[in-house]
Structure 1
Amino acid sequence: MSTNNDNNKALIFVYGTLKQGFPNHHLLETLTASNDAQFLGPHTTVHPYPLVRGPLGIPFLINHLGSGRRVSGELYLVSGRALARLDELEGVDRGHYERLPATVVPTPADGGDGAARVEAEAYFADRSFGMEMWEKSGREGIEEYRLSDADKYVGIEARDVGFKLKDYILLYLQQ
């Protein structure tokens, strides 16, 4: 159940810069230290989705079920307070990402009937540009955002002042 009420918890599947060892994981470390997040282990999506690298080395999961590959990531149980912080980082209110359902299984698992399927949520590219991002990638996705991908990531503090992520996305899609 996803809500911003601290009495309720949400399962969040992360696949990019929020994973352990990646540039934005410090937020989940802070949330874990305050008991607002709990790491539940590596997980993989049951269904294939496109995962692409967009502008600034940012990963985007595209809500196009059945295309792409099964995506590897991590599962967290988070409080309502943590969910609000994650939504803020992911720009949910700014049209960067949408938090949508994603069924995952522990990794390694084949996703068959015997695997412990979990209904979680993940941050998908906003529908206003998601499919364009998939087309721009040549319909070629990756199954895992790796450290070599994160080397190309440009953090908020290093981006042009006055430029919003949506501006970078629009420029990227026009190239």
Structure 2
Amino acid sequence: MGGDNTETKTNQTLIFTYGTLKRGFPNHNLLAEMLSSGDAAFLGVYTTADKLPLVCGPYKVPFLLNFPGSGNQVTGELYSVSDKALVRIDELEGVSTGHYQRMPVRLSSGTLAQAYYGHHDYAMDLWKRNGELGFESYTEMQAKGYVRRGDRPRGVSFLEHIKNFVS
């Protein structure tokens, strides 16, 4: 694996997870499915090289924000995933609908991976709404009160929920 390359020789992408995709959290079942099918491999617990804000938005959904130097070094889990798995994670994270943006993150090990950041359209508002305070890890304490997508009010888009949360 090359130092600045986020893909391995077998066309795998390194994904840094910091929230609900981690082991023991509500969306990990997607990764567990991929692990059992061979479309993902758990590589370990890692920390970001840079300080980055990790905050909660509506429904205790975690957001990593692309403001290097603010917040804390964030601890999460690193996975190697196939192209097929990457499409499914992008779908879960709402990449095509403007919920999250998948962009590079450098880990303290020097590894370059991909992470899902809160979309730049609302990131600063989320940061301010959280008092410009983030946390180092999305733990059970931060996740307390998390509402799964299927249990959220219908007829309102997640972007509308974010807009309401930050206003």
Indicate the residue corresponding to 1:89 in structure 2. Answer: 92
| Aligned counterparts of 1:121 and 1:47: Cα–Cα separation in 2 | 14
Q: Which runs of 5+ in 2 are unaligned?
A: none
- In the TM superposition, residue 122 of structure 1 has moved relative to its aligned partner by 0.4
> Cα RMSD (Å) of the superposition?
1.2
Q: Which runs of 5+ in 1 are unaligned?
A: 106-115
Q: Would you say the 8 A contact 1:50–1:134 is kept in 2?
A: yes
5 Å-filtered alignment, 1:16-165, equals: 16-105=19-108, 116-165=109-158
| Aligned counterparts of 2:161 and 2:152: Cα–Cα separation in 1 | 10
SS in 2 for 1:48: strand
| Aligned counterparts of 1:84 and 1:162: Cα–Cα separation in 2 | 25
Under a length normalisation based on structure 1, what TM-score does the superposition of the two structures give? 0.89
Indicate the residue corresponding to 1:14 in structure 2. Answer: 17
Which piece of structure 1 moves more, 157-166 or 41-50? 157-166
Which piece of structure 1 moves more, 140-149 or 36-45? 140-149
- In the TM superposition, residue 168 of structure 1 has moved relative to its aligned partner by 0.6
Indicate the residue corresponding to 1:171 in structure 2. Answer: 164
The number of aligned residues is 161
Indicate the residue corresponding to 1:110 in structure 2. Answer: none
Q: Would you say the 8 A contact 2:6–2:113 is kept in 1?
A: no
> What are the Cα deviations for residues 65-121 of structure 1, in whole angstroms up to 9, with x where unaligned?
11100000000000000000000000000000000110113xxxxxxxxxx310001
Under a length normalisation based on structure 2, what TM-score does the superposition of the two structures give? 0.93
- Structure 1 runs (4+) greater than 3 angstroms displaced: none
SS in 2 for 1:81: helix
